[in-house]
């Protein structure tokens, strides 16, 4: 029994020896915490305050001292305590990730977050970490100089005390799924091994396209990809890329948050959206980009307008070959020619939509009671449904300008 207890004790000491603690400050601690807790080998990432000299700091006190710190007082910086297993991720790799995560040349700010509580810092807990911190700083300074950046202002000092931040700051980005992740990276990275040092760029396709600026471990990027991009089948290409992989684009937006959604025409940015955007809002912005805000299609899709009877698009679509009509924005199939009939009304008419493709809403406008038909994927207005088709069937009266046609064989 004593031998077993001894073995357990030795094993526990070995585990403890591999486990180290270091504290990083790289701007607002929400994104820093999220980034490091996603790295393999990091056991824990906790938001808090380090580097100050007064007792019991809290968020309000730290913010109040960010511009006007009383004489003799050193303010704390928003920090993240990282507990890691150095047999899985080395101290050198972890500290290099810290340098690459933000802009360490900005002094008392990080991007739009200004104040001494956002200053860059490394708080080490042993001599090995100290040595690697200073060594990698010198290496990174040379790389920054070549890229046109200034002098590193990062504090590197021993961790005296770490105060855990309030509970609502812990896992903040998980608790608030609608938003964006600050992106303060310089784009300067440490050299990779030769066989891996292959950088792939994307260049303009020509015409209209959408570029989504992504970042590693950005929860809002993942949510946007899941909620919007995964179901998108439209004909305007969408590509996802890190900001340092763009080549040949003419942009005017600052790529300081992720996701940033760039709407591009012939390599030039038309406009952009910063942060997470839900599907309904995305398709409204896409409609502005694809149709034009003053177009008939946009007015039908988002202002519940109605095509003119026997409009040009109706004439094109009324006698198509066998196939399906799709949502002009999302690319989702909506109606099948097998269910089409000529109602002589001047609008496309169908007995039914493709299963699960539309939703319904009561419409009491113009002193009438009607049932509106809405595309489930994009949320655009399609038309109305009536109970006056031949044989007692329903008549889906649909605007042609918000549809596209695809022959069945394609």
Active site residues: 28
Q: Cβ(267)–Cβ(309) under 8 Å?
A: no
Cα 356 from Cα 129, distance rounded (Å): 57
| 277 half-sphere exposure, CB direction, 13 A CA radius | 20
Listing from the earlier edge strand, what are the strands of the sheet with 77-85? 155-158, 121-124, 19-25, 77-85, 42-50, 162-164
83, 88, 91, 93 alpha-carbon torsion, rounded to 10°: -120
CA dist., res. 382 & res. 199, Å (int): 44
Element housing 129 (H / E): helix 127-146
Distance from the Cα of residue 152 to its chain's centroid: 28
Closest C-alpha to 237, from 293, 300, 284, 286: 286
Nearest CA to 120 out of 136, 99, 141 is that of: 99
78 forms bridges with which residues in the sheet?
49
Give yes or no for a contact between 183 and 255, defined as CB atoms under 8 angstroms apart: yes
3-state helix, strand, coil in the chain (%, to 5): 30, 30, 40
Give the whole-angstrom CA distance, residue 393 versus residue 209. Answer: 41
3-state DSSP assignment of residue 24: strand
Q: Identify how many contiguous H helices and E strands the chain contains and give both numbers.
A: 10, 23
Residues 136 and 152: their CA atoms lie apart, in Å, by: 12
Residue 227, classed as helix, strand or coil, is helix
Nearest to 370 by CA among 388, 346, 357: 388
């Amino acid at each position: 029994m004593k031998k077993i207890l001894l073995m357990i004790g030795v094993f526990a000491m070995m585990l403890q020896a591999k486990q180290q603690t270091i504290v990083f400050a790289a701007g607002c601690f929400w994104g820093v915490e999220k980034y490091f807790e996603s790295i393999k080998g990091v056991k824990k990432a906790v938001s808090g305050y380090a580097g100050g000299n007064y007792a019991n700091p809290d968020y309000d006190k730290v913010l109040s001292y960010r511009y006007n710190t009383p004489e003799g007082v050193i303010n704390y910086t928003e920090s993240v305590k990282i507990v890691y297993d150095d047999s899985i991720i080395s101290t050198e790799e972890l500290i290099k990730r810290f340098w690459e995560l933000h802009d360490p040349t900005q002094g008392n700010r990080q991007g739009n977050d200004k104040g001494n509580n956002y200053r860059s810092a490394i708080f080490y807990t042993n001599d090995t970490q100290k040595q690697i911190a200073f060594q990698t700083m010198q290496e990174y300074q040379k790389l920054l100089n070549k890229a046109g950046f200034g002098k590193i202002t990062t504090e590197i000092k021993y961790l005296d005390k770490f105060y855990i931040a309030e509970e609502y700051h812990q896992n903040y980005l998980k608790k608030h799924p609608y938003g964006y992740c600050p992106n303060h990276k310089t784009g300067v990275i440490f050299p990779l091994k030769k066989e891996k040092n292959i950088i792939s760029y994307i260049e303009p396709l020509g015409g209209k396209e959408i570029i989504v600026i992504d970042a590693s471990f950005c929860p809002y990027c993942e949510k946007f990809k899941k909620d919007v991009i995964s179901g998108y089948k439209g004909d305007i290409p969408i590509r996802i890329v890190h900001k340092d992989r763009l080549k040949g684009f003419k942009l005017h937006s600052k790529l300081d948050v992720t996701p940033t959604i760039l709407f591009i025409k012939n390599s030039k940015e038309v406009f952009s959206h910063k942060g997470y955007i839900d599907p309904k809002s995305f398709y409204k912005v896409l409609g502005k980009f694809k149709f034009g805000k003053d177009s008939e299609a946009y007015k039908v899709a988002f202002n519940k307008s109605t095509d003119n009877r026997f409009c040009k698009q109706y004439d094109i679509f009324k006698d198509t070959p066998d196939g399906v009509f799709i949502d002009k924005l999302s690319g989702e199939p909506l109606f099948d020619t097998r269910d089409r009939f000529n109602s002589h009304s001047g609008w496309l008419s169908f007995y039914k939509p493709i299963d699960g493709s539309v939703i319904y809403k009561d419409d009491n406008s113009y002193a009438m009671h009607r049932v509106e038909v809405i595309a489930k994927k994009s949320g655009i207005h399609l038309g109305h449904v009536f109970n006056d088709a031949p044989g007692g069937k329903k008549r889906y009266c649909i605007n042609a300008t918000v549809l596209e046609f695809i022959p069945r064989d394609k």
